[in-house]
Chain A
């Protein structure tokens, strides 16, 4: 199987990242924003793995380890974020994220 090269991986990773960023910025639903956040993290993880594969030392798997950590981090973050969203919903009866602008105060 021919090697598709680093650029292909990084393009895919950038596409996923951009898609995630676009979701995070554009969607009003907090659940969707969380999904976008997962996409961003996954895009970043892909970069780590690919870069480790092509540029890092042969015998090391630092990038893969980082990707695993990011997955764990994403799970934990999703759990906390969902808990926050539940509380938000209880308080404001909505999960529309642009309604929650109390940060400006």
Chain B
């Protein structure tokens, strides 16, 4: 097995080992080990070290990163004989730039959360169980990003989902926590069902083309799209099905990454412990959806994947719209949240909307970049909010305020992260958000139609809103007068176990901007990070080898070559469309830069004006035209209301009706059939048996007896009677012969 794959396996397996130890210990001792926290932390720290080693040695300072991903694959299930259309499921593991980047994100945030939780969760019941779940989650998340097989991704996707369910409902004695975990689980089923259907469709189409392989590996899925240019590609003639598959797979992202209208589970998920919110519901699990659509980007891009001209893909435009709507939708709701964590949750929703928008406008590099930077500052914000909640024992911002001197470390790290998420220059969020907005604007220019500007316009407004609502949270928490004097008096700075992770993440919120700077040799421009991401999925010089089907076959026929051809130098052939897009991107870049800096300044200044100068905690209530809007916002645009008061009862009614139908009609038919065949027909058959069959048998017997008694008298042993009988018979015979003759 290749070396990098070995390291990747180690990264994945370490948290699993800690979890398994706890599991076995609990199996034999009926309780988890008291040192489960240390064990889990040690395991994830080990994973972190290995992941960073991989990142620095293979991706960061090396040329174009991993150009030839090492892979490892084995057949998990094979039903049927090779050559006779067997059903095959493979397990694939490959290490490429995206995997390593995701490893780094997951292990850094997970390590911070593990250290932080040791202090934060100290006094809670089921302390060891918390780390037990956390270990399982970390393993599943790492495995989810390490695999290059869609089915395995789905399996771990579900596993992180169930861990999320456990952890949201960690305080399950509280009814709201139990309800929230159920809500998250049920809402995710909607998207996951669609995702599953999409996977089944992909399998059914691709397994016909490559009958003897596990066709759910990423390489085969990408290749199937590349073969759209060939006359006999798997999707040729099935283009509308491809569109459906793209949308179905995207639905998986909609529920997992909390996109409108399935975002409703994420704010409720804040019932879970705050470190969990930071790890699962901000930095890692919720971005799994974005990660997945990045990986499945060719599927969404369709035919444009070949030429680089995926700007007219309807699926991508729908994705961009989902992202844009979610971004502004959640951004506005965040304006009216009084709960600190829920404000952050809606901000997460909004940022996820940005990432999805980026994928939709065809820039998976920007999406991954924002995913990368967002993970750090959002985890920092959540851990910071946890620190505050730990201090004042409340999540309501009305109980906070003026904490800046009591909790200096928390305050400064929170401020740094707020600046990052708001998009202040020199902070990481600025770089990644800029990339996304630039791509969205270039998309608008490229397509040219007015509707193509929709993602950019909403994204631009959201950029302003983000600065505004994030600083609203900051001002209301750390500045102004204490909301609750008693709580304020008891507040204190958190212990170092919580402060160190905060500073680590805050530092990364600044430093991770640098990752977009040009490092390494052989690099031409300022899109270092994005090139590394694009290389994995987008194939630039594929165009060169795709001149004919025969040639493309020879490229892909090699089983060892799991990934598509990658471009090895920056001078790879790019299509005119790609060139044009780059040109557009650069033409909007500088105006956009200025515009967004202005938006950030106005956002921060505006919130300063409202919340610090005027000390107005509920600014919308005092602006007459906004009062009605405020009510809409506080009702979360009635989406939750619609889901809980309309969709759920309707579903229940339908289920009841179906149940009644089942009871009456289906059961009636079954029982009637059973009654007819089992009872009525049986009775009739019994009658026939009694009368006809028995009658025939008895009648035959009776006939024998009657005949016997008739002839018995003739056999009396008297020879003379026999002769008489013979003579009579002969006489009769004679008469008969004479009469006939």
Contacts and interface: CB of A to CB of B under 8 A. Distances in A.
Q: Do A and B bind each other?
A: yes
Interface of A: 21, 24-26, 33, 97-98, 100-105
A25 B715 contact: no
B554 interface: no
B553 to A, nearest CB: 99
6 contacts: A25-B723, A26-B720, A33-B720, A97-B718, A97-B719, A103-B718
Contacts of B716: 101, 104
A98 B724 contact: no
Interface string B708-734: 000000011111100110010000000
A102 B717 contact: yes
A81 to B, nearest CB: 11
Contacts of A97: 718-720
Main secondary structure of the interface of B (DSSP, over half): helix
A96 to B, nearest CB: 11
A101 B718 CA distance: 5
Given A24-B723, A102-B717, A104-B716, 7 more contacts: A21-B723, A24-B720, A97-B719, A98-B718, A98-B720, A100-B719, A101-B718
A101 B720 CA distance: 10
Contacts of A33: 720
Nearest to A37: B723
B717 A101 contact: yes
B285 to A, nearest CB: 103
Contacts of A105: 717
A24 B715 CA distance: 18
A10 B715 CA distance: 33
A85 to B, nearest CB: 12
Nearest to B715: A104
Contacts of B717: 100-105
B718 A25 contact: no
A33 B724 CA distance: 13
A26 B727 CA distance: 13
Nearest to B724: A25
A37 B724 CA distance: 13
Nearest to A36: B723
A33 B721 CA distance: 13
Contact of B727 (A25, A103, A104): A25
Contacts of B727: 21, 25
Nearest to A24: B723
A104 B721 CA distance: 12
Nearest to B717: A104
A98 B718 CA distance: 6
Contacts of A21: 723, 727
Contacts of A25: 720, 723-724, 727
Interface string B105-130: 00000000000000000000000000
B722 to A, nearest CB: 8
A105 B717 CA distance: 7
Contacts of A24: 720, 723
A14 B718 CA distance: 25
Nearest to B714: A104
A102 B715 CA distance: 11
B733 to A, nearest CB: 15
B713 to A, nearest CB: 11
Nearest to A18: B727
A98 B720 CA distance: 8
Contacts of A103: 717-719
Interface in B171-208: none
A100 to B, nearest CB: 8
Contacts of A98: 718, 720
B21 to A, nearest CB: 97
A73 B718 CA distance: 24
Nearest to A27: B720
Contacts of A26: 720
A104 B715 CA distance: 6
Contacts of A102: 717
A35 B136 CA distance: 121
A21 B720 CA distance: 10
A37 to B, nearest CB: 10
A105 B719 CA distance: 13
Q: Which 6 A-B pairs have the closest CB atoms?
A: A104-B717, A101-B717, A103-B717, A101-B718, A25-B724, A104-B716
Contacts of A104: 715-718
A21 B727 CA distance: 8
Contacts of B715: 104
A33 B426 CA distance: 148
Contacts of B723: 21, 24-25
Contacts of A101: 716-718
